[in-house]
Amino acid sequence: MQGFSALNIFLLVLGGSLAGFINTLAGGGSFLTIPLLIFMGLPPTVANATNRLGVFMQSLTATKQLHSHGVFPVRFSLIIAMPAVLGSVLGAYAALIISEAAFKRYLAVFMILMTLTTFLRPATLLPQPIGNYSFRRWALLWLLFFGIGIYGGFIQAGVGFLIIAAMTITGYDLVAGTATKSFIIFLLTCVSLAIFWVSGKVQVVPGLALGAGSMLGAFIGAHVTVTKGNAFIQKFVVAMVILSAILLLVK
């Protein structure tokens, strides 16, 4: 088992705090924490699995905080979470056997294209009241979130960008979308973490260090989400997705 010094633990807590804040408002925090774990000596597949422990703790914290502020559409989130959870089972098992290097480069471009849709006005995409969807729209949402679930189970990093992009066709604003995102990521992580845990891929000490920092970052991020509103979230999302994509493409 990998040993971790006090300095390593401190860096993981610090990195987890930043990642928790970034993930709560937008996504892509795992592009920071997974390389950090690899730099500390964990194999990539173990880093990918261990990172889920931190994500689990931060997404639970963010969901609870946003729910307490009354911005969490519970019923809608439960409905679209079902296909996402099913997809995450496939993605997590795929992560145990499939290399991720080529897919990261493809995703870097895909994230930019998808996230830029947050500049569109949801009302122009969804003229009817929120929740009064046709069968075709529900089918599209289920298909989208099933695919998001597959990716979320596979590598997780950047899945928040995809969820926010998909939320633009629901009629909900970015504040409610952020709450839904945190909830879905929490459920996805429950599934993938369980699969990776059984497979012996999760290291508890670094995972808990990340989680401790991530909970603090998520708490602050949830407060900023509610107080700053849609305009701030939109700018933050686009800035983070472009930065993450550039780092992936350069590396």
* pLDDT at residue 88 in the model: 92
Mean pLDDT over 212-230 rounds to 79
Give domain status of residue 203, yes or no.
yes
Q: Which domain holds residue 66?
A: 7-250
Which pTM value belongs to this model? 0.77
Which tops the pLDDT comparison, 4 or 149? 149
- Average confidence score pLDDT of the chain: 79
- The answer to whether residue 95 sits within a structural domain is yes
Residue 2 in any domain: the answer is no
Per-residue pLDDT tens digits for 84-124: 999 999 988 887 887 657 655 665 666 666 555 545 444 44
pLDDT at residue number 124? 45
Token pair listed for 140:
């599209």
| pLDDT > 90 in the chain, percent | 12
Number of domains, the chain: 1
Average pLDDT on 223-240 reads 70
Answer with the residue of higher pLDDT: 220 or 226.
220
Per residue in 28-84, pLDDT (tens digit) is: 777 778 878 888 888 878 888 898 888 888 888 888 888 887 878 888 889 999 999
Judge whether 148 lies within some domain. Answer: yes
Residue 230 has pLDDT above 90, yes or no: no
Query: What is the SS3 assignment for 160?
Result: helix
Question: Would residue 41 count as lying in a domain?
Answer: yes
Rg from Cα positions in the chain = 17
How does 109-126 read in b/e, with b if 16+ C-beta sit within 10 Å?
ebbbebbeebeeebeeeb
Q: How confident is the model at residue 241 (pLDDT cuts 50, 70, 90)?
A: low
